[in-house]
Structure 1
Amino acid sequence: MDAIHLNDLAFFAYHGVFDEEARLGQRFLVDLTCWLDLSLPGQTDAYEDTVCYASLVKAAEAAVTGNRVQLLEKLAQIIADAIFDADERIARVSIKVRKPGAPLPIAVGTVSVEITRDRPAIS
């Protein structure tokens, strides 16, 4: 299956377990991979035949900045749900959320979570 990749999307938000994270906020970096059939836009070169990259960025931004969660795992799931809502042609999504300012007991380091989800079947 074909894929669209959006990497290093940076958003400022207030996620984390500690009170300081909720009060001060920090930067989160998001990578998205969206799997779908891109054969039609590959043939037609028509904008309407593909997924709008900007709409994916806006969906991710709304998911990251419009919620307050403790865990990166939950944040990744919220982003995945938002991406599926953004365009029905997306069959699978992989979300990687990095937290460069995570409170770790070392001088530098990055924490990240990556999930892959298939579009839920409609019942």
Structure 2
Amino acid sequence: MGTIRLQNIRTFSFHGCLLEESKIGSDYSIDLEVKTDMRKSAISDNLHDTVDYVLLNRIVLEEMAIRSKLLEHVAHRIISRIFKEIPSIARVMIEVSKLNPPIGGDVEAVTIQMEEYRS
């Protein structure tokens, strides 16, 4: 088993429960980690034998572009889509951070973390 990480994927999205958040948007940072068997690709040196991180990045960006009220909801969509489109992935761990959240204080980010295993 091996790990692929995409760190600090940056997006501008419109998630949040407040009406203003749906209009003005916010900056987000996403960290994604997947577990997969890398033995075949380690020998073959062939992209088709591993998980293409370009596809992982595209899934994250496309799902982040769909508005959700809760970060948990968008994270769950990302995880579900990864499991659906990439059968070789056994585990997904994701952190979604809203940078400078509108919570009435000096807070750099609010982050949710979710981890799921293929069932």
- Correspondence 1:69 to 2:78: no
Q: Which residue of 2 aligns with 1:16?
A: 16
SS of the aligned residue for 2:73 comes to: helix
Distance in 2 of aligned mates of 1:11 and 1:115: 19
Q: Which runs of 5+ in 2 are unaligned?
A: none
- Which amino acid in 1 is paired with 2:62? A
- Which amino acid in 1 is paired with 2:29? L
RMSD across aligned positions (CA)? 1.1
Any conservation in 2 of the 1:76–1:95 contact (CA below 8 Å)? yes
Q: CA deviation at 1:12?
A: 1.4
Q: CA deviation at 1:25?
A: 0.9
Q: CA deviation at 1:101?
A: 2.3
Any conservation in 2 of the 1:13–1:28 contact (CA below 8 Å)? yes
Normalised TM-score (structure 2): 0.93
Provide Cα deviations, 1:95-118, integer angstroms capped at 9, x if missing partner.
Answer: 100001211222232100000011
Q: Which residue of 2 aligns with 1:104?
A: 103
Any conservation in 2 of the 1:14–1:22 contact (CA below 8 Å)? yes
Higher percent of residues as strand: 2
- Which amino acid in 2 is paired with 1:17? C
Distance in 2 of aligned mates of 1:28 and 1:114: 14
Q: Which residue of 1 aligns with 2:38?
A: 38
Provide Cα deviations, 1:23-58, integer angstroms capped at 9, x if missing partner.
Answer: 111111111101111111111211111111101111
The verdict on how the C-alpha distance between 1:77 and 1:20 changes in structure 2, with shifts beyond 3 A counting, is same
Any conservation in 1 of the 2:101–2:107 contact (CA below 8 Å)? no
Q: Which runs of 5+ in 1 are unaligned?
A: none
| Segment drifting more, 82-91 vs 5-14 | 82-91
Runs of 4+ in 1 over 3 A off after TM superposition: none
Q: Percent identity?
A: 31
Any conservation in 1 of the 2:5–2:34 contact (CA below 8 Å)? yes
Provide Cα deviations, 1:72-115, integer angstroms capped at 9, x if missing partner.
Answer: 11111111112112311011100100001211222232100000
